[in-house]
Amino acid sequence: MKEELDKIDLSGLDIDQIGDDHMFSSIETPMRKDAFALSDDEKIARIETSFREIMETLGLDLNDDSLSGTPKRVAKMYVKELFSGLKPENKPDARVFDNKYQYGQMLVEKNIRVQSNCEHHFLPILGIAHVAYISSGKVIGLSKINRIVEYFGKRPQVQERLTLQIAEELKRVLNSEDVAVLIDTRHLCVAMRGVQDSSSSTVTTEYSGKFKDKNVRDEFLRYAYAGDPQNRF
């Protein structure tokens, strides 16, 4: 039963509506119960209408040939690109393979591109992720790690939740607790509004299993920050 439950993406469920006998994680992206009632085309049509109203409220002339197609372009971008990670069917099929070569050290995939959007202001979060795991008998294709980061990034996010979602998915896929995730990003909601600080970055981490050991964790960090960190973005 547990194996079947592990295959289910719960991102569209209202956790408050699930019975107490189900121990599901609270790190899921907050979604309404009817989140998947509309088709992509229906969502695009609704967002187009709403964004047109926003532009008109701002005083823009949508009869101008440069602006007339913007509401639909924005709507398609939201549904098909920026927030495509909200759809469970877009989750990557992360195949794993037997660790036939008995590789027992950590594997580190570093400098993975992170492109997400802050759920508070819908402005970009841009940076990199460093991900590591120690095999418990299975290994994963390297590009699938990138795909997992991309999938969870393509949602309205807070960085803390994004970090945990990536870690939990890797633990599930690899059937291993020995996972580390470090995300280092710039938030344009900080750079472009409010305090308007374009120089700061935000780092979040999640260490589980063997990575809770200081020596193992320090080894991961040495790999992650090898080279010039100023070339991150």
Could you tell me the sign of the dihedral formed by the alpha carbons of 138, 143, 145, 148, in that order?
negative
165 catalytic residue (yes or no): no
For residue 200, give every residue at least 6 positions away whose Cβ sits within 8 Å of its Cβ, in sequence order, or none: 186, 190
Catalytic residue among 118, 168, 169, 206: 118
81 catalytic residue (yes or no): no
Residue 113 vs residues 75, 129, 228, 232: alpha-carbon distances, Å? 24, 6, 16, 9
118 catalytic residue (yes or no): yes
Catalytic residue among 157, 159, 165, 169: 159
- CA–CA separation, 217 and 199 (whole Å): 27
Instruction: Please identify which residue in the block is written with the tokens 């991309």.
Output: 150
Catalytic residue among 28, 130, 168, 187: 187
Nearest to 201 by CA among 125, 132, 146, 130: 125
Which region holds residue 64: left if phi is over 0, alpha if psi is between -120 and 50, else beta?
beta
121 catalytic residue (yes or no): yes
Q: Which residues of 124-157 are buried (b: 16+ CB within 10 A; e: fewer)?
A: bbbbbbbbbbbbeeebbeeebbbbbbbbbbbbbb
159 catalytic residue (yes or no): yes
Catalytic residue among 121, 160, 177, 219: 121
CB 161 within 8 A of CB 193: no
Q: Which residues are annotated as catalytic?
A: 118-121, 159, 187, 189
